[in-house]
Amino acid sequence: MTGVLKYNAIVYVQFRREKVENQYFVAVIGAGPAGLFGARELANNGVRVALFNRDIKAGGLAEYGIYLEKHTMKEGLRKQFRQALDMANVDYYGNVSIGAGGDFSLDEIRALGFDAVLVSAGAQGTKSLGLPGETLEGVYHAKDVVYHYNKLPPFSQRKFHFGKRAAIIGAGNVMVDIARYLIHYQGVEEVTAVVRRGPAEVNFTKEEMKHLISYLDMAEFEKELARVRPALDAVGQSPELGRQKILEAQAKADPKTQNAKFQFAFLASPTGMMGENGQVTQLEVEDNILTERDGKTSAKGTGAKRTLAVDTVIFAIGDQVDANFGLATEWGEFAKDKEPKFPVENTSYESTTEGIFVGGWSRKASEGLVGYARRDGTNAAKAVLQYLQANPPANTNADTVAAKMKTLQKPVVHKDDIKRLEAAEAEEAKKHSIEGFKFASNEEMLQAMGFLETA
């Protein structure tokens, strides 16, 4: 342990022991897993927390990203989230968006006099490759699609055109989730995963792939492996390893229930989309070879291009933070202080603005699962606790914050409102004998909570 780290660990332990009840007041922006577990860590240490959330409901991508059929997992997480929200020293302000173009700017929040701000707003920016044809109908970004099928307004209300032949750019779990959704819920007959590198470097897990693998067209798969074999051989990558890695999921495969097929296009990068009458009809890809340097392979375009006939193209290539949030960004992420004064586990949770910390996907965009976000949000809170210990409490209180929220010309949702919403949704689920029910618009949610008259 370095000197600084050791010192910080001691300070943190002291802080936990002293538990200075409600002297410090911290704003946490974003109530996804990182923000909720961060808020819980702060509140457990006697800090008062104002938790601002863009969405009415808490949970972030755990509520609106995780695959729609994972009811048990989602309910388990909701239980933990409720515990954080129920803490007496956590105030929840839902339906409140922070940042340029939001309900309050980051500066307005800071001006309320918080002792520190923890930004855990996820990665809400879209990574765009800037390719021709990106605005054609039928070309989408993964986050919008998963928000849509998980019923997050306004994406839940947006029309998406899913045809019969889809290409998904990417080779991770999000690609698998979307392929599964297109086949099972949208009647898509052919899904091609367009993968920049080879089969050995796919990023999905067998636990996710088992839901899709029975749709893999084995004849096409073998043909594709044979096609890319010379490029893999050139960098010593075994096609057999790739085959094994992908087919591992067959051991526990879900049965095939739809007349559809799934296939891979390896060593291919998208270069543009072409369309007719504003609708995408073709995806152009460039073939890649692999190069190796210091044990790391990278894909390099060969200049050879081909087209795939498709009517849907979805980019599942990860996200970046919202560049208009109000914090400096660097490589699609909020810039971090490279010489942090309060590191935790050798990691900087400090933004380049003093007193503002970042955690979860706001610190590292599109990184890891809920468990990762939980740990990262908690660690970010630990960094905040060290910072508070080094500074006297400022002078704000819950009433000042609540009064500021009342200036908004729209309903601000509190934790008791959420309880009413959850009860109303549970009632609907019971009525329709389904496992989970969600209102798909803010209006319906606000009505269920009693903010708006029922039509």
Ligand X SMILES: Cc1cc2nc3c(=O)[nH]c(=O)nc-3n(C[C@H](O)[C@H](O)[C@H](O)COP(=O)(O)OP(=O)(O)OC[C@H]3O[C@@H](n4cnc5c(N)ncnc54)[C@H](O)[C@@H]3O)c2cc1C
Binding positions for ligand X, rule: CB under 6 A: 29-35, 52-55, 60-62, 65-67, 70, 97-99, 102, 120-122, 124, 146, 174, 177, 360-361, 368-370, 372-373
Closest to ligand X by CB, 209 vs 231, is 209
- 292 with 264: CB under 8 angstroms? no
CA-based nearest residue to 263, from 207, 310, 298: 310
Closest CA to 400 of 31, 107, 28, 110: 110
CB-nearer residue toward ligand X: 278 or 371: 371
**CB of residue 68 to ligand X, shortest distance in Å:** 10
Closer residue to ligand X (CB): 334 or 361 = 361
- Take residue 389 and report the two structure tokens written for it: 């210990």
The CB-of-452 to ligand X minimum distance in angstroms stands at 20
Q: Nearest 10 degrees: CA dihedral of 141, 272, 215, 435?
A: 10
What minimum distance in Å lies between the beta carbon of 301 and ligand X?
27
Closest CB to ligand X among 45 and 378?
Answer: 378
Q: Is the peptide bond before 411 cis (omega within 30 degrees of 0)?
A: no
At 455, the amino acid letter reads A
Distance in Å, CB of 67 to ligand X, minimum:
6
Cα separation, 127 vs 47, whole angstroms: 36
How many angstroms separate the CA atoms of 265 and 12, rounded? 50
CB of 293 to ligand X, least distance (A): 30
* Cβ at position 99, least distance to ligand X in Å: 4
Question: Amino acid letter at 154?
Answer: P
Q: Which residue is nearest to ligand X (CB)?
A: 32
Give the Cα separation of 178 and 349 in Å (integer): 32
Q: Specify the residue, 52 or 114, whose C-beta has the smaller distance to ligand X.
A: 52
In whole angstroms, how close is the CB of 234 to ligand X at the nearest point? 34
Cβ–Cβ < 8 Å for 340, 371: no
Q: How many residues does the chain have?
A: 455
Report d(CA 220, CA 230) in Å as an integer: 17
* CA atoms of 19 and 355, how far apart (whole Å): 20
If the CB atoms of residues 200 and 313 are measured against ligand X, the closer one turns out to be: 313
Gyration radius (Cα) of the chain, Å: 24
Nearer residue to ligand X within complex by CB, 39 or 308: 39
